[in-house]
Every structure is written in structure tokens, then in C-alpha cells.
Structure 1
Amino acid sequence: MLKLEQVSVNYGATCGVAQISLEVHEGELVTLIGANGAGKSTTLRAINGLEPLANGRIVFNGDVISGVSPAQVIESGISHCPEGRRVFPLLTVRENLEMGAYRRQDRQRVKRDMEHMFDRFPRLRERHQQVAGTLSGGEQQMLAIARALMARPRLVMFDEPSLGLAPNIVEQIFSLITEIRTEGVTVLLVEQNAYAALEMCDRAYLLENGRIVTHGSAAQMLANQDIRKAYLGG
């Protein structure tokens, strides 16, 4: 479904990612693991058009999407739930969800999807008129996920969804991501909790200093002694 071919992103003279190649197949949950600054978030931002490529190309469902606008990436079927949630703080919960569907023309289906999100996230229904910036961290993460799903994506990218959340909320978020995948949405996940990410995923890629150093099935990565020592606490 998604293929990155020798993709590089530069920040001035600094290399963000260097000639990375990866694939995500339809229906999979694939995760990117690695230390802070390894290039995981940069990879997602390159896919959604927020970072220009220095070289390489990105293909989604057979179409080259590298170089197109973020709006066109969304229209192609890719949605992004960014690090830090990035809700619109001065808009209400309902308005944030409407923003997730702003490129869609099927307004009746948008209304039905809004109700579906409120059914899935009852706390958001309770707070639908509340300004998003006043929500708790967990509620904002739920809103960010729901907003991403309002675009009706075929592939959704999650960037550090557990960051800064209480353990009980993290468990809910991981359960939601697994549920989204079982409903047929392909998932590309960046997650600081490498063990939890590998427990959830089908396959994983390990990034170090902007390069993919190894990849494999979740079982292979969990059994890799170097990965266990460096990222899984031994």
C-alpha cells in the first residue's frame, strides 16, 4: 500500500533521514522504533507532505505522492495523528472533528461519522461544545485520533500517541489503535514505548541516526538481543 524508496530529508546541512526504504502492506500495523532524534517523526512528516524530500520517492496505492501538498495526501487516503496531539485549542471538540473532514464533500456521511466518533469516544460527546484547549491530555489525544479518522483514511499514521499520558489512558489509546486496525484501516505507528509497539505490530523498522538499521516481524525484533538491550530494558 505504502512504499518509501531511498527517501532522504535534510534540515539545512543536517540530515533528518538518509535513503530509507520501507513498505506498509494493506491491513498491517507497522511500527517505527528508535531513540529520540532517530528520524521517526521526520519520516511521517515526509509521507504527509510537510517535509520536502532531498531525494527518493513515496508511492501510495501505486501513485507517487512525494511532492504533492498535504491536502492532496489526505485526499489520497492518508491521515496523520501528530505528536503532541496538535488539536486546535480555540475550537470546540465538534469543530475540531469537522476540521478533520474539511476536504470531504459527502456532508451527510460526515454527520454520520461524527456520531460514530461520539459513540466511540463518549467523553467527546459530553464535551462536544467545550474548547479543545481546556481538555485533559487524554481527552485531547482521543480528539486527535477521532479527528484523524474523520478523514476516512485507508492508512492512518500515529506519532507518539502515548506521550505524556497516564498509564491507564495509554492502555486505552493502544486498545483503540488495535481496534482501528481490526476495522480494516492500515496503521503506521511511531511510539516511544518500543515494547508496547512491538507487542501490537506485525512488522517493525528500527531507525538510528536517520537510517534503517534493521527490520523484521514483531517476533524477530522482540527476540533480537541488541534491540532488547538498547530499547526493551534487556
Structure 2
Amino acid sequence: MLKLEQVSVNYGATCGIDRISLEVREGELVTLIGANGAGKSTTLRAINGLEPLAHGRIVFDGETISGATPAAIIDAGISHCPEGRRVFPQLTVRENLEMGAYRRQDRQRVRRDMEQMFDRFPRLRERVSQVAGTLSGGEQQMLAIARALMSRPRLVMFDEPSLGLAPNIVEQIFALITEIRSEGTTVLLVEQNAYAALEMCDRAYLLENGHIVIEGTAGEMLANQDIRKAYLGG
């Protein structure tokens, strides 16, 4: 479904990612692991058109999307749940969800999808008229996930969804991501909690200093002694 072919992104003289190649097959949950600054978030931002490519190309469902606008990439079927949640703090919960569907013309279907989001996230229904900036961290993450789903994506990218959340909320978020995948949406996940990410995924890529250094199935990555020492506590 998604292929990155020798993709590079530069920040001035600094290389964010350097000629990385990866693929995500339809229906998979694929994760990117690695230390802070390894290039994981840059990879997602390159996919959704927020970072221009210095080299390579990105293909989604057989069509080249490198160079496309973020809006066109949403229309193609990719959505992004960003690091730090990035809800619109002065807008209400309902307005944030409406922003997730701003490219859609089928307003009646949008209203039905919003009701489905409220069924999935009852706390959001309770706070539908509350401005998002006053929600708890866990509630904001639920809102960010629901907003990402409002575009009805075929592929959704999650960037550090567990960041800064209490352990019980983290468990709920991971369960939600697994559920989203089980319902047929393909998932590309960036997650600092490498063990949890590998427990959830089908395949994984390890990024170090902008390069993919190891790739494999979840079982292969969990069994790799170098990964266990560096990222899984031995």
C-alpha cells in the first residue's frame, strides 16, 4: 500500500533521514522504533507532505504522492495523528472533529461518523462542547485519534501516542490502535515504548541517525539481542 524508495529529507546542512526504503502492506500494523532524533517523526512528516524530499519518492496505492500537498494526501487516504496531540485548543471537541473531516463533502455521513466517534470515545461525548485545551492529556489523545479517523483514512499514522500519559491511559490507547487495525485500517506507528510497539505490530523498522539499520517481523525484532540490549532493557 505504501512504499518509501530511497527517501531523504534535509534540514539545511543536516540530514533528517538518509535514503530510507520501507513498505507498509494493506492491513498491516508496522512500527518505527529508535531513539529520539533518529528520524521517525521526520519520516511521517515526509509521508504526509509536511517535509519536502531531497531525494527518492513515496508511493501510495500505486500512485506517487511525493510532492503532493498535505490536503491531497489526506484525500488519497492517509491521515496523521501527530506527536503531542496538537488538538486545536480554542475549539470545542465537536469543532476539532469537524476539522478532521474538513475535506469531506458528504456532511450527512460526517455526522454519522461523528456519532460513531462518540460511541467509541464516550468521554468525548460528555465533553462535546468543551474547548479542547481544557481536556486532560488522555482525553486530548483520544480526541486526536478520533480527529484522525474522521477523514475515513485507509492508512493512519500515529506519532508517539503514549507520550506523557499515565500507564492505564497508555493501555487504553494501545488497545484502541489494535482495534482500529483489526477493523481494516492500515497503521504506521511511531512509538518510544519499543517493547509495547513490537508486541502490537506485524513488522518493524529500527532507525538510527536517519538510517534504517534493522528490519523484520515483530518476533525477529524482539529476539534480536542488539535491539533487546539497546531498546528493551536487555
TM-score range, shorter chain: over 0.9
Number of positions where the alignment pairs a residue of Structure 1 with one of Structure 2: 234
For the residue of structure 2 that corresponds to 1:168, the secondary structure is helix
**TM alignment of 1:163-202, pairs within 5 A:** 163-202=163-202
* Distance across 2 between alignment mates of 1:136 and 1:117: 18
Identity across matched positions, percent: 88
For the residue of structure 2 that corresponds to 1:189, the secondary structure is strand
1:136 aligns with 2:140: no
Amino acid at match of 1:137: G
* Distance across 2 between alignment mates of 1:55 and 1:21: 11
Q: How far does the alpha carbon of each residue in 1:63-119 deviate from its partner, in whole angstroms, 9 at most, with x for none?
A: 000001000000000000000000000000000000000000111100000000000
1:226 aligns with 2:226: yes
**TM alignment of 1:10-89, pairs within 5 A:** 10-89=10-89
Amino acid at match of 2:228: R
Q: Tell me the TM-score normalised to structure 1 length.
A: 1.00
* Distance across 1 between alignment mates of 2:217 and 2:187: 15
* Distance across 2 between alignment mates of 1:108 and 1:199: 38
* Distance across 1 between alignment mates of 2:22 and 2:106: 33
The Cα of 1:200 is off from its aligned counterpart by 0.1
* Distance across 2 between alignment mates of 1:218 and 1:69: 33
* Stretches of structure 1 lacking an aligned partner (at least 5 in a row): none
The Cα of 1:29 is off from its aligned counterpart by 0.0
For 1:127, the equivalent position in structure 2 comes to 127
* Distance across 2 between alignment mates of 1:74 and 1:195: 30
Q: How far does the alpha carbon of each residue in 1:197-225 deviate from its partner, in whole angstroms, 9 at most, with x for none?
A: 00000000000000000100000000000
* Distance across 2 between alignment mates of 1:151 and 1:37: 29
* Stretches of structure 2 lacking an aligned partner (at least 5 in a row): none
* Distance across 1 between alignment mates of 2:199 and 2:109: 34
* Distance across 2 between alignment mates of 1:7 and 1:124: 38
* Distance across 1 between alignment mates of 2:138 and 2:198: 22
The Cα of 1:16 is off from its aligned counterpart by 0.1
Amino acid at match of 1:77: G
For 1:93, the equivalent position in structure 2 comes to 93
* Distance across 2 between alignment mates of 1:201 and 1:127: 32
* Distance across 2 between alignment mates of 1:16 and 1:205: 16
The Cα of 1:157 is off from its aligned counterpart by 0.0
For 1:114, the equivalent position in structure 2 comes to 114
* Distance across 2 between alignment mates of 1:26 and 1:176: 19
Q: Tell me the TM-score normalised to structure 2 length.
A: 1.00
* Distance across 2 between alignment mates of 1:203 and 1:94: 35
1:214 aligns with 2:232: no
